[in-house]
Amino acid sequence: MINQESSTRVSIQGYEGSFHQVAAQQFFGKHVTVIPCATFRDVIKIASNKKESDGGVMAIENSIAGSILPNYNLLQKASLKIVGEIFLQIRQNLLVNPGVKLSDIREVHSHPMAIQQCLEYLDEHGWKLVETEDTALSAKHLHQHRSKHIAAIASKLAADLFDLEMIAPNIHTMKNNYTRFLILQREEAAVTVADANKASVNFHTDHSRGSLARVLTCIADGGINLSKLQSLPIPGTEFKYSFHADMEFDDLDQFEKVMKQIRPITEGLKIYGIYKKGRTI
């Protein structure tokens, strides 16, 4: 597994104070160094370069919004292994500069998704809502401009980093909002994860009638829990799909036995990673 010390450097999407950084800290510890990236494509690019990083952290799905499909495509093309996962509860907070009161606020700035997640609370106040490119960047700008009449919606980490006060914590409407993040490492550097009980694989079938059902039956008969099955269009084909499958198992022998059984009835079988199942915190 990736060395979990302060010297560890990982790429993340977004800015310092983003939920990607929170996820990175949960996996590697508080002293991990993050490399902020504008896009997920950049996250993969830097994570793949051993001169720039030790790996990357990438969101893959949300319990409310669903799968981030472009990231599955990035995963298919990358030479990276999944070595872990984090399920992070997304807690949105209203941040202000020290001393600012609710009555001082005229505008609230944040990413459109964060604003949408907090509309029930925001509608009670009638503030002007300003959409920005990133929650953490909104917090950073709030700190830099020392505004008395602007608030931002962002994480507690952003509040700590930019010396802001959480004037209203946990203002999101849906309290059970989790994002799943994948921990990625270069294939040549990845090592066996101790006590692994989950794997992510990709495959496609010959698309004959019942071909997918035969694969799924093998998985079920092997006692493996299929926790995720995501279909993805195969580029350059007419409505043909590959399948991303997340499998949970009791021991590695059980998983390897099922892989041996489904290999002859699948095409392009690729194991993205064998790792330890993350916990919801």
What does the pLDDT look like over 181-224, one tens digit per residue? 999 999 988 788 989 999 999 999 987 888 999 999 999 999 99
Same domain, 48 and 102: no
Same domain, 84 and 107: no
- Cα–Cα distance measured from residue 71 to residue 43, given in angstroms and rounded to the nearest whole number: 10
Q: Which residues form the domain of 14?
A: 9-90+177-186
pLDDT of residue 207: 76
The per-residue pLDDT for range 100-126, each reduced to its tens digit, is 999 999 999 999 999 999 999 999 999
- End-of-domain residue from the set 135, 157, 186: 186
Same domain, 97 and 85: no
Report the CATH number at residue 117. 3.40.190.10
User: Among candidates 62, 141, 136, which has minimal Cα distance to 93?
Assistant: 136
Domains in the chain, number: 3
Whether 158 maps to a domain, the answer reads: yes
Same domain, 138 and 158: yes
Same domain, 100 and 34: no
Whether 1 maps to a domain, the answer reads: no
- β-strand partners of 243: 203, 231
Same domain, 224 and 256: yes
- pLDDT interval class at 269 (50, 70, 90): very high
Tokens for 239, please give them: 């409505």
User: Among candidates 11, 15, 9, 17, which has minimal Cα distance to 161?
Assistant: 17
Answer with the residue of higher pLDDT: 4 or 188.
188
- End-of-domain residue from the set 154, 186, 218: 186
- pLDDT interval class at 6 (50, 70, 90): low
- β-strand partners of 58: 182
Whether 56 maps to a domain, the answer reads: yes
